[in-house]
Structure 1
Amino acid sequence: MRTPDRWTATRRCASGLLAAAAVLACAPALAQERTVYRCPGNVYTDGLTAKEAAAKGCKTLEGAPVTVIQSTVPRRSESGAAARSGGEGAKVDPADQRARDADKRRILEDELRREEERLASLQKEYNNGEPERRGDERNYQKYLDRVADLKASIERSQADIAALRREIGKLPGGGG
């Protein structure tokens, strides 16, 4: 009966030694761990002292592992890539810009025409709030739901038409 007791004591000693070794191995990492602060504006940083964090209204984060990654600012290319991509300071030939504006106007006017046709169709079906009942609408609630959907579609279509007209009005050369 002595053997199990020795075995248990040896296992406990070995596991204790392993735990102690793990703590000693992690000690440098724990010593280097810095306090992470969450500052107003949802900014996380570990580069502040406790005094600076308190002055800025930052709170200490505890219990959750946080990785802070310093972001980099992308470099600006001095080549023609900025001009081709329409970047800041890019100059566009006036003729090209007029062509782009004309294309944009044509696209918006086509979309406006389609939306106006859709609105006319919806209003015709809506019939001033009393559309004809369909054969599949034996249940009166189905009919009421369809009437409500039609009304909502008409309102959305009217809002879309107003937005398209505003966009066309913003284009050079006046509104159409």
Structure 2
Amino acid sequence: MTSSVVGAQEKVVYRCPGNLYTDALSAKEAQAKGCKTLDGAPITVIQSGVRPAAPKAAASGGGAPSERVQSDEQKARDADARRILEAELKKEEEALAALQKEYNNGQPERRGDERNYQKYQDRVNEMKAAITRKEADVAALRRELAKFGAASK
């Protein structure tokens, strides 16, 4: 019995930022993360149980077949989703067009603070990456809209 008490006393518990308590860190790791040791302070661990409201929330999301959404309501939801996607697509296409105009086929105008050619090249590369991301966003929105295309048109 004494060995288990001694073993328990050798465990060092650390309090890390964000109210995280752990005994799984080494002294170096704890210091690097900004954790402080707890000296003789009793720690109580409370296990959280399953909340009874969780199954009800999942069922209201349409998971249960007995609670199916009415056809009219589903059509309204689909129409709303399509309208939102179309608005988002329009906004993204406008942003893409503005980026492409500023990019000017890889030859954007130099700014006054870009006397150093490397600064200019860095900005051109950032613009190219931004255009690539916008094109991917537009393509993704078009794919999402295509899911509604056959049913809505």
Q: Give the gaps of 5 or more residues in structure 2.
A: 6-46
CA contact (8 A) 1:168 1:175 kept: no
Residue 75 (structure 2) pairs with residue 95 (structure 1): no
Output the aligned Cα RMSD: 3.0
What's the offset of the Cα at 1:171?
A: 2.0
Residues 13-92 of structure 1 mapped to structure 2, 5 A cutoff: 22-23=2-3, 83-89=59-65, 90-92=67-69
Normalising to structure 1: TM-score of the pair? 0.53
Structure with the bigger RCO (C-alpha within 8 Å, sep 6+) is 2
Larger radius of gyration: 1
- Mapped to 2, the partners of 1:76 and 1:141 lie a distance apart of 55
Give, as a single letter, the amino acid of the residue that structure 1 aligns with 2:122.
D
Q: How many residue pairs end up in the alignment? A: 109
- The structure with the greater share of residues assigned to helix is 2
Q: Deviations over 1:133-175 (max 9, x none)?
A: 0011111111000100111111111111110000011126447
- Mapped to 1, the partners of 2:112 and 2:54 lie a distance apart of 65
Q: Give the gaps of 5 or more residues in structure 1.
A: 1-20, 27-68
What's the offset of the Cα at 1:75?
A: 10
Normalising to structure 2: TM-score of the pair? 0.61
Change beyond 3 A, Cα 1:115–1:82: closer
Identity %: 57
Residue 93 (structure 2) pairs with residue 136 (structure 1): no
- Mapped to 2, the partners of 1:165 and 1:127 lie a distance apart of 25
- The residue number in structure 1 matching 2:14 is none
Residue 85 (structure 2) pairs with residue 105 (structure 1): no
Change beyond 3 A, Cα 1:174–1:154: farther
SS at match of 1:85: helix
- The residue number in structure 1 matching 2:138 is 161
Give, as a single letter, the amino acid of the residue that structure 1 aligns with 2:64.
E
Select the residue among 90, 108, 128 that pairs with 1:151.
128
CA contact (8 A) 1:83 1:91 kept: no
